[in-house]
Structure 1
């Protein structure tokens, strides 16, 4: 498999998933894909939407969207998700889709405010930052500990591991969402995950 991504970006979430699953992959660094140039052209040849993560499977099939990749991996590695039909499986699906539907857009728009609100970019940054904090405060109430859904690590924990390095940053999480922070640090310390975090710079 080949994973197209950027160290420290959202593709790190999929790197963690692949590490938890023990799936070998080659990382293709497309730093700079978000502006015109060779990196963007290289990524668009695989994924015309020019998004990371983009995962190319052994048979050439292209998978995008981290939630889709998580569900594909859960099919191959059922130990990384709660049992189908269980209450925890419903929670797993809810939080997985909730994250990508709610938290992701705050970065999509807040990281590139000049694209979406050229007349008031800072207002957009401030609004998306506030919204993200509200979302994480809610997520704090949903986490079981010691991992996101309880005693066993799941693919959902790959998201938790990364978020404490992104806005609003670790100090905010320490002061407002101690359970989320504790889950993230526990996942980051796992022997299969720690090397991913080191490579990503998170």
Structure 2
């Protein structure tokens, strides 16, 4: 299995999750600016969407989109899922919110053409982070064990830090709790973060 990633991109969540469960996989670094892998392969030939993450299975089948890959990881490794009758549905609900409401909101910040637009984008992001902070069921989103959604949220919090978006104290504490996990330390070291 191969994970195509770019340092500091949302693919970091998948990398952390795979490290967390001790999965055996290879990493292929992608330069998103040039759309080339570290070995010089045209990434568009691998994923015409041009974005990471991409998970390539041993049989050559590809899985794209962060939510889909994280859902697959949780299905294969239930310790990173959410138990209960509606656990998987709640997990997909959280992953989708992080993807569409948080992750996508950073694009507005990156594309802001003025300080006013940037301030508006940051305010919208802060509002979404505040909502998430109120949904915690324990030390992590769903209880006292991390799920794949926690790793995706962690990456969004790293982005918030990078772009000086203030977040609620609960989320800062959560980010620091995740940051010291061995899987995160390994992923950071490998990706040069």
CA contact (8 A) 1:164 1:170 kept: no
Structure 1 residue ranges without an equivalent (≥5): none
Specify whether residues 200 and 38 from structure 1 end up closer, same or farther in structure 2 by C-alpha distance, changes over 3 A only: closer
Please name the residue that 1:190 is paired with.
181
Offset at 1:121? 5.7
Is 1:158 aligned to residue 151 of structure 2?
Answer: yes
RMSD over equivalenced CA pairs, Å = 2.5
TM-score normalised to structure 2 length: 0.85
Counting matched residue pairs gives 191
TM-aligned CA distance change 1:158 to 1:37, over 3 Å? closer
Show the counterpart of 2:2. Answer: 2
Determine which structure has greater relative contact order: mean sequence separation of CA pairs < 8 Å that are 6+ residues apart, divided by chain length.
2
TM-score, scaled to structure 1: 0.81
Does residue 43 of the first structure (1) align with residue 34 of the second (2)?
Answer: no
Could you say if the C-alpha distance between residues 121 and 170 of structure 1 is closer, same or farther in structure 2, counting changes exceeding 3 Å?
A: closer
Residue 136 (structure 1) aligns with: 129
- C-alpha distance after superposition, 1:115-174 (max 9, x if no partner): xx7xx465544332221111101111111331221112211111232233213559755x
Question: What secondary structure, in the 3-state scheme, does the structure 1 residue paired with 2:67 have?
Answer: helix
Which stretch of structure 1 is more off in the superposition, 100-109 or 37-46? 37-46
Please give the alpha-carbon distance, in whole angstroms, between the structure 1 residues aligned to 2:175 and 2:35. 35
C-alpha change, 1:200 and 1:41, in structure 2 (3 Å) is: closer
Instruction: Tell me by how many angstroms 1:21 deviates.
Output: 2.2
Unpaired stretches in structure 2, ≥5 consecutive residues: none
